[in-house]
Amino acid sequence: MAKYLVTGGAGFIGCNLARYILDKGHDVVVLDNFATGKRENLTEIADRIELIEGDIRDRDTVDRAVGGCAAIFHEAALGSVPRSMEDPVTSHDVNVNGTVTVLESARAAGVNRIVFAASSSAYGDQKESPKHEGMVPLPISPYAAGKVSCESYLQAYAAGYGMETVSLRYFNVFGPHQDPEGAYAAVIPAFVSRLLAGQQPAVFGDGEQSRDFCYIENVCNANWLAAGAPARQCAGKVMNIACNARTSLNEILALLKELLQSDVDAVYQDQRPGDVKHSLADVSLAAQAIGYEPKVFFEEGLRKSIDWYRENLG
């Protein structure tokens, strides 16, 4: 049995990852300041984790969380492209300065393996498809720029200090515990919650924009593989985590209306600045480096998500 730190463990991805690690029989420390994470995401596992409430920018707090851990899953971030467009300074401070603090704390504590939640937004709106790690990052939002900066820091700490850092570029993760409310809600929970309530979901743009949607179980598995893979195969690397399959927003709406037996149509609004038109991932590097392959594909993941929202939306 080992102990693992999940930063941002009260968030959507973090709380699912914490459950995944607990189910493997290990101990979990969650570090979260609840700026975007939710306490209710941890209710079921509260008695099985060590919770440290605090900010990843605070070195003393991070030092407390890191001690004795076998590896760190660094999920904490101030998410959302639109949020970063509105307030780039805070986005940078939390995401970049917070990551450097985590790296420094880990280095001091001798925790070498850090798995970082990177983002497909690094690719920007480049036309080449599928997106592969050999492409030069071209971020078009402060959020994306911050994530690319963090990747560079992880690579620098691998090269300069011999740390075993891995950056996983997530492509549009979805699943249970993803917040359907608020201005920055992700598209699938927003669509599902609105349709379940008989309300019109909002689509920014023409709905033909497409994403490589990746069910949360795949992401948890990828993190676990990255934590355990030999350093020679993964240290300092950046790799895509997705399904190598693309779905448009209009296709999602059509499938949801069928699955939910809804006749409610969407409201189409102007495209948001910083949004990418299409994303599709080449996941061959992750397959080679850590043995990753997606297990749950879009429609199955969507059905599982609908089941969870039906049970948990009040």
Q: Is the pLDDT of residue 182 over 80?
A: no
Q: What is the pLDDT of residues 223-257, one digit of tens each?
A: 999 999 999 999 999 999 999 999 999 999 999 99
- Per-residue pLDDT, averaged over 173-185, amounts to 82
Is 54 inside a domain boundary?
yes
Residue 244 token pair: 């190598």
Q: What is the pLDDT of residues 82-114, one digit of tens each?
A: 899 999 999 999 999 999 999 999 999 999 999
**Residue 314: pLDDT band by 50, 70, 90 thresholds?**
low
Is 262 inside a domain boundary?
no
Question: What integer best gives the mean pLDDT of the chain?
Answer: 95
- Per-residue pLDDT, averaged over 250-276, amounts to 90
Kindly report the backbone phi and psi dihedral angles of residue 175, in degrees, each rounded to the nearest multiple of 5, phi listed first: 150, -170
Is residue 143 annotated as a catalytic residue, yes or no? yes
- Per-residue pLDDT, averaged over 7-23, amounts to 98
Is 314 inside a domain boundary?
no
Q: Is the pLDDT of residue 37 over 70?
A: yes
Is 15 inside a domain boundary?
yes
pLDDT of residue 2: 97
Is 152 inside a domain boundary?
yes
Rounded CA separation 42/11 (Å): 9
Rounded CA separation 72/264 (Å): 43
Q: What is the pLDDT of residues 124-161, one digit of tens each?
A: 989 999 999 999 999 999 999 999 999 999 999 999 99
Is 32 inside a domain boundary?
yes
What's the domain count of the chain?
1
Is 193 inside a domain boundary?
no
Range of the domain at 103: 3-171+216-242+276-295
Is 308 inside a domain boundary?
no
Q: Is the pLDDT of residue 184 over 60?
A: no
Of 123, 143, 157, 292, which is the active-site residue? 143
Which CATH number goes with the domain that contains 34? 3.40.50.720
Kindly report the backbone phi and psi dihedral angles of residue 4, in degrees, each rounded to the nearest multiple of 5, phi listed first: -125, 145
pLDDT of residue 185: 61
